[in-house]
Amino acid sequence: MGSIVGEKYRIERIVASGGMGTVYAAVNSWTQRPVALKFPLARRGDRGTLSDTAVERFLREARAASRIEHPNVVTVFDLGRDRDGEVFLVQELLDGETLAQRLTHDGPLSLETARALLLPAMDALCEAHRQGVVHRDLKPENLFIARRGDPVP
């Protein structure tokens, strides 16, 4: 932690790590804006490197996501490469939990809560489809419930 990526993003902590990659909380040292840095699969400390095909897929998906402007879609700010040539995505840093986490600690959702969470998500998917973007991995782990203003029931 504390290392600088892309000449301006200071990594502060790991936010999440999974089969597709790792997300770090970072700060843009120029603007002081908190951001999330997402690295695909192989990352610091890993010995493997991404294939050219995997890198191109990551960049293609990041570019597609950056076209979607919707209040229920995370904002993509930038793409870059670190000193080692690893690609990364710079996006809005959200505070909250995934739908999977919510289900784990609260159990099944009430109809009211399900409606409050899923209708905005469906609206975001409609916007993505209007932009020609298809989400290929829609599941509770990939739906994020951000803490912003009004609490969800």
The domain limits of the chain are 4-92, 96-146
Q: Which residues are catalytic?
A: 137
pLDDT recorded at residue 153:
57
Given strand 21-28, what is the order of strands in its sheet? 4-5, 9-18, 21-28, 34-40, 87-92, 76-81
Task: Tell me yes or no: is domain 4-92 CATH 3.30.420.10.
Answer: no
Please give the Cα distance from 68 to 74 (Å, whole number). Answer: 9
* Residue 104: count of CB within 10 angstroms of its CB: 11
- pLDDT exceeds 50 at position 45: no
- pLDDT exceeds 70 at position 44: no
pLDDT recorded at residue 33:
96
pLDDT recorded at residue 127:
94
pLDDT recorded at residue 73:
93
pLDDT recorded at residue 150:
59
Task: Give the range with max mean pLDDT: 28-42, 97-111, 136-150.
Answer: 97-111
Helices (H), the chain: 52-66, 99-106, 111-130
- Tens of pLDDT, residue by residue over 79-93, are 998 888 889 999 999
Average pLDDT over residues 107-127: 96
Average pLDDT over residues 7-27: 91
Give the list of residues 6+ apart from residue 83 with CB closer than 8 angstroms, or none: none
Report whether 5 contacts 29 (CB < 8 A). Answer: no
44-53, 60-69, 81-90, range with the lowest pLDDT? 44-53
pLDDT recorded at residue 17:
86
Q: Predicted confidence band at 151 (pLDDT cuts at 50, 70, 90)? A: low
Q: What token pair was written down for 81?
A: 């490469």
Residue scoring higher pLDDT (57 or 47): 57
